[in-house]
Structure formats: structure tokens, C-alpha cells
Chain A
């Protein structure tokens, strides 16, 4: 479903990804772990198409298409979702307005008709309920004044509404309390566990992986995948640290 080959990318002339290769098949969940500053979020941004992140070599194919050739909004319409490590606050635009426009923009790009206001509200409410997010928060400006954990929950509500094929979730588990972690873990399984979908989970901790069982675990260090393995790799990492395991 997603195939990354020898990806090199730089920010402001500084090379951050240094020949990263990774393949995720439909139906799979992969976890990426790695030390701070290794380039995990950079990988997410490069896949999401953030301006300023320049790909200098390598290729990424997504569902048979050249992902790097698409604008960020085209990638979203093609089914890619990026859950942000630090979701952005946007004053003056309500969650519902933003998400309804986003959903309809995606649908339009795919040649589908718009979702009506009433249908959209039903969808948004049910997703908020499933993730234990207060209905009131749907009406509030996007992420403004949300706590760290509320922002992460909101990312999952957005994922539920937009229904992507492939999700890159960048530390969606950090900042969550125990109940929220469970709700988010279950949310990921419910929304993304399907034969035609796949997930790339960026995380520092085993605990999210207790809820969302990964098929593969990778260690990203200094801009490359330095080690890959099964779910047991995450356990080893947590016990022994990156220096030991990825050496």
C-alpha cells in the first residue's frame, strides 16, 4: 500500500532523512520507534506533503501512485491521514465547519457528492461519542484552548470523520490519560483495522501497542530504519533502550 524507497529529505538545507526505506501492506499496522530528533515527525511531514520539507532523493508510492508528486490536499483526498504530534490551534474556525469543508473537499476531489449538514452532524457526533469527546468541543474553534490530551482525541475524531485508507499517527498516545489511551487505542482499531487499510504508528511507548497490536516494529535512528522486527522488538526496546537494541 505504501512503499518508501531510499528516501532522503532535508529542511533548510539540513538532511534529516538519510535513505529511509519501508513498506507497509494493506491490513497491516507498523510501529516506528526511535530516539528524539531521529526524524520520525519529519517522515510524517514528508509523507503528508508539508511545504519546506524537500525530498532530494528516493521515492514514495501510495496505492500505486507517486505520492511525492501530489499536493498535501491531494494526498488527503487519496486517503492519507496525518495525525499531528502537535495539533495546530486555529482560532475563528469551528471544528464542525472545518471538518465538514475538509470532508466535502476530499469528496469533491474524488468525484463524490457533498455530505449534507445534517448527515455531517450525525457523523461528527457519533465519532465524538465513540472517542469520548464532549459534543460541545465540536463547536469550538479547532484545538483552541484544548488540553494536550483533548487535542489528540480530536485528531482521532477527525480521522473517524474523514475515514482515511492510510493513517500516520505521530505520537498520538503522548499526553493521554489512561482512559483516553484506551479510547484512542480502540478508536484506531475500529477506524483503521480493515483489510484495505493500514497504519503507521509513531510512538515512544509500548503501552499504546498493548491496544493496537503492530504487525511490525521499526527503529528509526538518524534518518534511517536501523532495525525491524515483530511486536517483541517494542518490548525489548522498552526494556533495554535504543542504544542496546539498535546497536
Chain B
């Protein structure tokens, strides 16, 4: 099977925490009829365009794509997983000044592998927000290429809620002068995952953010591996990631920030924090900074710990049962990352997903 799939191996640098075994098992699992009604996965409070993909195939019955086009996406990538996502996918291409908030895309898998490419191109000063939800099972593989013209703004929120299987995401973004990209990911399902991304701040004063929270339990493994490149001066970047691991699970965060020689006055922040809910769980953190400019401000921190025993007792001494005290503290820990989501309805939905996970895990 591997000769057909030709997947990266954990011996390769950059893939050593990847859960390829779960990916392969998901890819070869037999598709069944999906038991999930896609309607339940859309947020009612958002009334923007909606697209549903069932096992990677566009499903018009549960969609109202509006300005989002379903079409062949041709752009090539070298990325070993991303390049598999070729063929029909979705395209959001906005003209100068256009605004499309509240776009929702739902992916439901039933087993086997499915691949969908996507492309987001925002013209000057255009704005959009896209929320994606993954549910069901199987291997869902996605490539999303993002091109933001000067002054445009994209808010991207992605939640991985598959029951099992694997979700791999590959984002490739270019952010022009004074444009802004904020991407927030939440891994709160039972699947394995790899969130893989590269953001290039290619214009002066560009803003790029990629972060989120991975919640793992059982024997699950999730990881994020992201790179933020500052190519031009006066850029700002944020990488705020939180990992919460319970049972025997593993959550891994590798985040890299690169500041080119010309990218003077870069303001970067990288914060990777892990929380172990059990001693048998694992959090891997790999923070990396590579700075060639001399006038930069790059705050960074990477820590792994357990819930603060003093804080737990403080909450409990006021009457909160221990499980609730743990849930509140863990919720607050994850909140650092999820609070970056700009739209209240989306932020609240993601927080609720995290709470559901916490109630089951604690």
C-alpha cells in the first residue's frame, strides 16, 4: 500500500511526530454511508455561503455556495500530502473591496481517503471569513492555497471533529502589504491529525497568524507543523498554540518563525504551551526562530506542565467539584488560542467543542 501512497516517513525531518500509521489505516478503511447529517455541522448564527463535501465530493443538496465556486484547482505544490489534493475543489476569488463574511464549509467522511484542494484569493482590501468543520471518519486530506492582496483580510477557523480516521491540512499562504491572515485550528475529535502550514508575509506591514489548540486523549496523536516567514519589513506574526494531552495520547507542536535580512522591525510572538492531564500523556514542543534581520522583536516561550495544584485547590475551596475545577482551568488554558477567532459565533462554537471534549476527557 505504501508504494501506492508514497507517504512521508517518520524518519524524515519534519515528520518525526506524524502518525502515518493512523493515516494509512484511515485511507484503507472501507467507506460506509455517512451517519452524520451535514446540516447539524453548520453554525445557524452565520448566514453566509455554505458548502458540503461528502467523502470529498461536493454535495449541492446541502450547499448554497454563493460566490464560492466549485471547480478544478490546478495549482501545484511540492508538499507530499498537499500535492495529492488535486482536481475538483472550491475557489473563493474576491474582487477589490468585496466582503463575504460567514462562509462555512463542512466535510463529512465515511471512510477511505478523500482529497479536496481549495484556493482563496482576496483582491485589494477585500475581506472574508471561512469556517471549516471536519466530521465522520476516513482520511480527509486538504490543500488550501491563500493569496491575500494588499490590505485584504482573511479570518480562517478550522475545527477537526472527526470521530476517528485522520485529517491532514496543508495551508500555503502569501500575505501582501498591510494584508492580514488569521488562522485558528481546533483539533477536538478522535482522529489523528497533521496541521501543516506555511505563511509568507510578502509585503510591508503584513500580519500573519496561525495557531490553535490540539486536544488529544486515548492513544490519539495530533500535530501541528507550521512555518511563518517574514520577508518584508514591519510585519507582525503570532503563533499561539496550546496542546492538551490526556491518557496515553500525544500532541505535538512544531512552530518556526523566520525573519529575512530585509524584514526589519518585525514583531513576532511565538507561544507554545502544553498541558498534561495525565503523566502517561506526551506533549512535544519544537519552537524555532531563525532571525537574519537585526532590528526585530520576537517574544517566544515553550512550556509543558500540569494543572496548577494551587489553582485547583483555590477553585475547589470555593465549592467547585474537582472535575469542574479541572475543566475550567483547562478551558482557560485553551482559551488563549481560541480567543484569537474574530467572529463571536465561531469563537463560541469552538469553545463549546473544546468544552464537550473536556467533559468527556476529564
Q: Which residues does A use to contact B, with CB under 8 Å?
A: 48-52, 71-73, 75-77, 82, 84, 87-93, 98-99, 101-103, 105-106, 109, 158, 162
Contact = CB atoms under 8 A, between A and B. Distances in A.
Interface stretch (B3-11, B174-182, B246-254, B307-315): B307-315
A107 B350 CA distance: 29
A102 B315 contact: yes
Contacts of B101: none
B258 interface: no
A162 B319 contact: yes
Nearest to A91: B332
Closest 6 CB pairs of A and B: A92-B332, A76-B319, A106-B319, A102-B318, A88-B314, A72-B316
Interface residues of B, number: 23
11 contacts: A71-B322, A73-B319, A73-B321, A76-B319, A82-B317, A88-B311, A90-B314, A90-B329, A92-B331, A92-B336, A105-B324
Given A51-B309, A71-B322, A101-B328, A92 B335 contact: yes
Contacts of A49: 316-317
A50 B332 contact: no
A103 B324 CA distance: 13
Interface in B223-238: none
Given A91-B332, A92-B335, A92-B336, A101 B320 contact: yes
Given A90-B329, A98-B328, A101-B328, A71 B316 contact: yes
A93 B327 CA distance: 11
Contacts of A88: 308, 310-311, 313-314
A76 B332 CA distance: 23
Contact of A51 (B308, B313, B319, B333): B313
A73 B320 contact: yes
Given A90-B311, A92-B332, A92-B333, A98 B317 contact: no
B324 to A, nearest CB: 7
A28 B311 CA distance: 30
A110 B270 CA distance: 46
A164 B329 CA distance: 24
Interface of B: 308-311, 313-322, 324-325, 328-329, 331-333, 335-336
A51 B311 CA distance: 12
Given A73-B321, A92-B332, 12 more contacts: A50-B313, A52-B309, A72-B313, A73-B319, A73-B322, A73-B325, A76-B317, A77-B319, A88-B308, A90-B329, A92-B333, A101-B320
Most interface-central of B309, B329, B332, B335 (chain A CB within 10 A): B332
A97 to B, nearest CB: 8
A158 B314 contact: no
Nearest to B325: A73
Contact of B315 (A90, A106, A109): A90
A89 to B, nearest CB: 8
Nearest to A53: B313
B314 A84 contact: yes
B358 to A, nearest CB: 13
Contacts of B335: 92
Nearest to B309: A51
Residue of B313, B319, B322, B332 most packed against chain A (CB within 10 A): B319
Given A51-B313, A72-B313, A88-B311, A105 B332 contact: no
A173 to B, nearest CB: 20
Given A90-B311, A91-B332, A101-B324, A48 B317 contact: yes
Contacts of A99: 318
Determine which residue in A76, A88, A109 has the highest number of CB atoms from chain B within 10 A of its CB, and name it: A88
A84 B309 CA distance: 15
A153 B165 CA distance: 51
Contacts of A87: 314
Contacts of A84: 314
A242 to B, nearest CB: 29
A171 B310 CA distance: 18
A50 B319 CA distance: 13
Nearest to B332: A92
A98 B318 contact: yes
A93 B309 contact: no
B362 to A, nearest CB: 15
A85 B323 CA distance: 25
B11 to A, nearest CB: 39
A73 B319 CA distance: 4
Contacts of A98: 315, 318, 328
Contacts of A105: 319-321, 324
A58 B212 CA distance: 50
Contacts of A162: 318-319
Contacts of A93: 328-329, 331-332
B128 to A, nearest CB: 29
A136 to B, nearest CB: 19
Given A93-B328, A98-B328, A105-B321, A73 B333 contact: no
A73 B316 contact: yes
Contacts of A75: 317
A9 to B, nearest CB: 15
A29 B210 CA distance: 56
Contacts of A77: 319
B252 to A, nearest CB: 23
Nearest to B333: A92
A93 to B, nearest CB: 5
A207 B331 CA distance: 41
